[in-house]
Amino acid sequence: MREFFNRFRLIKSGDKELVLQLEHLLGFTPRHLVFYKLALMHKSTPEDATDSNERLEFLGDAILGALIAEYLFKKYPNQPEGYLTELRSRLVRRETMNNVALRMGLNKMVRYNQNDRGLNRSHIFGNALEALIGAVYLDRGFDTTRTFILNQMIKAYINLDEMESTDTNYKNQLLSWAQRQNKTISFDTLEEKSDGSRKLFTVGVLLDNQVAATGTGYSKKEAGQVAAQKALETINATGGTAAE
């Protein structure tokens, strides 16, 4: 009965569309809508940066990592620490979270400066998903957050069997290809700039001292992986054998 009156109150508050979207997304009715509104607020929209979702993203990222670790620990009781660490890394990496967020439709819910075309190509929707996890935790607690991550994210949008069998370490793939082809490969940091409270890096792949591809990310490792993936795609498109 309490949940019924809470839902009635929220819908009557003028946020009916948002409440219905969140119910579909989360699998339950929010109790404190203010957390979710903040989770969907990118820093490019408000004048006051404290009204953005960055703090919730910080919280959600920590909770996501812990719950994914718990899930993998129980699912793979006979696998060593290195295997679990690599699989967790694949699950929580920016590209994976951004892809899940897009498939969930978060790109239609996040408030951001749509005149900045570069934002559409960034990971702001994956970041918003992490902020949403933080909102769920503050609103409903740890157990509901675990259920949300397992049912609404992993089981709904992530193929673990495929992820296990796919080598997503593009940097290692590229280095192996270069060794087979007697090519010289290096990764250089081309740019480092502030993006709000975080650093945004641009890393270039140098093939025989020529820039073959670049990538951006919130760490040099992430940017290097993006650059390596682009380089591999170019090599394969031009008849290379990097995917061997």
Question: What positions carry a catalytic annotation?
Answer: 61, 130
Three-state DSSP at 167 gives: coil
Q: At what angle do helices 220-237 and 170-180 cross, to 10 degrees?
A: 50
Burial of 2 (0-12, 13-18, 19+ CB in 10 A): exposed
Edge-to-edge strand list for the sheet holding 210-217: 185-195, 198-207, 210-217
Q: Are 113 and 36 in contact (CB under 8 A)?
A: no
Q: Burial code of 117-135, b = ≥16 C-beta within 10 A, e = fewer?
A: eebeebbbbbbbbbbbbbb
From CA 122, how far away is CA 107, in angstroms rounded?
11
Q: Are 174 and 50 in contact (CB under 8 A)?
A: no
Question: What does 54-122 look like in DSSP terms, one character per residue?
Answer: HHHHHHHHHHHHHHHHHHHHHH-TTS-HHHHHHHHHHHHSHHHHHHHHHHHTGGGT-B--TT-HHHHTT
